[in-house]
Chains A and B, each alone.
Chain A
Amino acid sequence: EIVMTQSPATLSVSPGERATLSCRASQSVNSNLAWYQQKPGQAPRLLIYDASTRATGIPARFSGSGSGTEFTLTITSLQSEDFAVYYCQYYNSWPPWTFGQGTKVEI
């Protein structure tokens, strides 16, 4: 079973600054990686899929990179609405749909 490890657990950032979140897979997942954003009391929202493709309606300040076992989600110029928990998830191989434990981006 592939294990997804996210770091850091919490990231403290000021509005307007850049945030860099990491996700590591215990074995290669190629580019089969998605990123989700979750705010308190809400469902996860798809941000990025195929490691670097923004989902429909996602602002350009969100970008994803990486392949194999190392992935990064970058948020440039953080806005107030970006403070949330971010999860990575791999897919496309069995057992699939495993999520990381999350990174909380806080002010």
Chain B
Amino acid sequence: QVQLVESGGGVVQPGKSLRLSCVVSGFTFSTYDMHWVRQAPGKGPEWVAVTSYDGRSKYYADSVKGRFTISRDNSKNTLYLQMNSLRTEDTGVYYCAREVEDYVWGFMDVWGQGTTVNVSS
């Protein structure tokens, strides 16, 4: 079955870095655009970043632009999020999500279970 499994979260001090990973299975990873979406405690989801199926196009929310980098390794069925210069407001659960096929900037039809990032001194 389709699965997305995130890892790499943890407790980190402000200003430090963290890299999240999302390993997928059950579908042809290399043909799907993929997203990172985060959710602060008690808040709604917030879109963070997207990469095209081939990694050539990437877009970011203004709140993370210049600090976060999304990437993918299609040979390893893995999506990454490199997070630098972390701030306390980056705290939350980070989900990887698959974008539906055949849409331009479409909705997310499959989500991972999330990994928790806590930025705290």
Contacts and interface: CB of A to CB of B under 8 A. Distances in A.
Interface string B54-94: 00000001000000000000000000000000000000000
Could you tell me the dominant secondary structure of chain A's interface residues? loop
B107 A99 contact: no
Interface string A42-77: 111110010000010000000000000000000000
Nearest to B47: A97
Given A87-B45, A99-B44, A43 B105 contact: no
Interface residues of B, number: 23
B95 interface: yes
Contacts of B32: none
Counting chain B CB atoms within 10 Å of each CB, which of A36, A43, A96 scores highest?
A: A43
B114 A43 contact: yes
B108 interface: yes
A99 B50 CA distance: 15
A34 B107 contact: yes
Interface residues of A, number: 23
Contacts of A98: 47
Contacts of B114: 43
Given A49-B100, A97-B35, A44 B106 contact: no
B58 to A, nearest CB: 14
Given A44-B45, A97-B47, A91 B113 contact: no
B111 interface: yes
B105 A101 contact: no
Interface of B: 35, 37, 43-47, 50, 61, 95, 100, 103-114
13 contacts: A43-B95, A43-B112, A45-B111, A49-B107, A87-B44, A89-B45, A89-B107, A91-B106, A95-B61, A97-B50, A97-B108, A100-B44, A101-B43
